[in-house]
Amino acid sequence: MTIHMHGNGQDQIGQIHKRGSTIVHGDVGQCYGYGAKGGKLFIRGNAAGRPMINSVGSPKLVINGTALDYLAESFMAGDPLEGGGFVIINGIEYDEKGNLQSMETPYPGGNLFSLSSGGAIYVRDPHSRLSASQLNGGDFTDLTDADWQILEPLLMENEVHFGIQLAALLTVEGEVRAPGEVYRKIIPLKNKALSVEDGWAAKHD
């Protein structure tokens, strides 16, 4: 099932979202995707506070604008590289002439990834404006080719829904950049510790 909502949505749209796609051609209120378990959710504009709170399983969310605060609080969506859930923040807006431009910051709030134990957040942040002080329970890690393999299809679908071209998202100051130069990955601290341990073990095996 696919649901298109034209205009802005109110609070708690997509609560316990399990399958299919929900596409909002505007902004959404508080707690978008509350307790989502699967499926795909898209927002053309911005989300208010606490989108994807308490989500588990394999939900996938694309926010083309930004979110206010507490994004993906208590997110428990496994490993995105193994089918788990994740969130993409593009941090873009339209200027007065209808052209896409980067927001001053892709995420203005705090408590990003608060109390989360799984999943990942991918932020379009080519100028590294998002700081570690805005995170609460998460940490930055490198974007890999495996990450891009799961992001690219969703961003191409995002292009179909809203006309926001993937090439435009990868363009910074007039130049098309590699995905790892444009997007940053955030994972729960526990997962960061495990990945470091796995890397050490691989080197000493």
CATH of the domain at 8: 2.160.20.60
Higher pLDDT, 25 or 98: 25
Quote the mean pLDDT of the chain.
92
E-assigned strand segments in 58-196: 60-63, 86-89, 92-94, 100-102, 120-124, 138-141, 171-172, 175-176, 183-188
pLDDT of the residue at 85: 97
What's the whole-number mean pLDDT along residues 93-106?
94
Total tally of structural domains belonging to the chain = 1
Nearest to 3 by CA among 12, 17, 16, 51: 17
pLDDT of the residue at 16: 93
User: Which tens digit of pLDDT belongs to each residue from 25-71?
Assistant: 999 999 999 999 999 999 999 999 999 999 999 999 999 999 999 99
Residue 61: phi, psi to the nearest 5? Answer: -130, 135
pLDDT of the residue at 205: 55
pLDDT at 196 over 70: no
Total-model pTM: 0.91
- With pLDDT > 90 as the criterion, what percentage of the chain qualifies? 88
3-class secondary structure, 18? coil
> 106: domain range?
2-203
- For the ranges 69-73, 84-88, 90-94, 190-194, which has the lowest average pLDDT? 190-194
Cα–Cα distance between 200 and 39 in angstroms, integer? 35
